[in-house]
Amino acid sequence: MAEQQLDVLSVGDVVIDAFIRLLPDQEKIEYGKDGLPDLSIPFGTKIPYDFAEIIPAVGNASNASVAFAKLGLKSGLVSNVGSDAWGRDIIKALEAAKVDSRFVHINHGKKTNYHYVLWYKDDRTILIKHEEYDYHWPRFRIIDIPKWIYFSSVSQQAMEYHDEIAHWLAAHQSVKLAFQPGTFQIATGPRRLKDIYQRTEVLAVNREEAVTISGGQHEDIHDLFDRLHQLGPKIVVISDGHAGAYASDGANRYKMPIYPDPAPPYDRTGAGDAFSSTFVAAIMLGADIEGALLWAPINSMSVVQRIGAQAGLLRLAEIEQYLRVAPKNYHPRRLTNDHA
Residue 41 reports pLDDT greater than 80: yes
Is residue 137 in some structural domain? yes
Residue 339 reports pLDDT greater than 80: no
167: CATH:
3.40.1190.20
Residues 6+ apart with CB under 8 A from 98: 1, 69, 75
pLDDT tens per residue across span 45-88: 999 999 999 999 999 999 999 999 999 999 999 999 999 999 99
CA distance 239 to 290: 14
pLDDT tens per residue across span 240-288: 999 999 999 999 999 999 999 999 988 888 899 999 999 999 999 999 9
Calculate ∠ Cα 157-163-168, nearest 5°. 130
Is residue 248 in some structural domain? yes
- List alpha helices for 19-138, DSSP H: 60-70, 85-96
Please give the single-letter amino acid code of residue 24.
Answer: P
State the pairing for strand pair 176-179/200-206.
parallel
What's the number of domains the chain is made of? Answer: 1
Is residue 232 in some structural domain? yes
Is residue 67 in some structural domain? yes
Instruction: Please count the other Cβ atoms lying within 10 Å of the Cβ belonging to residue 300.
Output: 26
Please give the single-letter amino acid code of residue 109.
Answer: G
Please give the single-letter amino acid code of residue 165.
Answer: I
Instruction: Please count the other Cβ atoms lying within 10 Å of the Cβ belonging to residue 223.
Output: 17
Is residue 103 in some structural domain? yes
Is residue 19 in some structural domain? no
Q: Residue 5's pLDDT is what?
A: 82
Please give the single-letter amino acid code of residue 203.
Answer: L
Query: 100 pairs with which residues across the strands?
Result: 76
Residue 111 reports pLDDT greater than 60: yes
CA distance 57 to 39: 26
| Residue-number span of the structural domain to which 102 is assigned | 8-14+58-113+130-334
pTM over 0.85: yes
Is residue 32 in some structural domain? no
pLDDT tens per residue across span 20-34: 999 989 999 999 888
Is residue 197 in some structural domain? yes
Task: Grade residue 340 by pLDDT with cuts at 50, 70 and 90.
Answer: very low
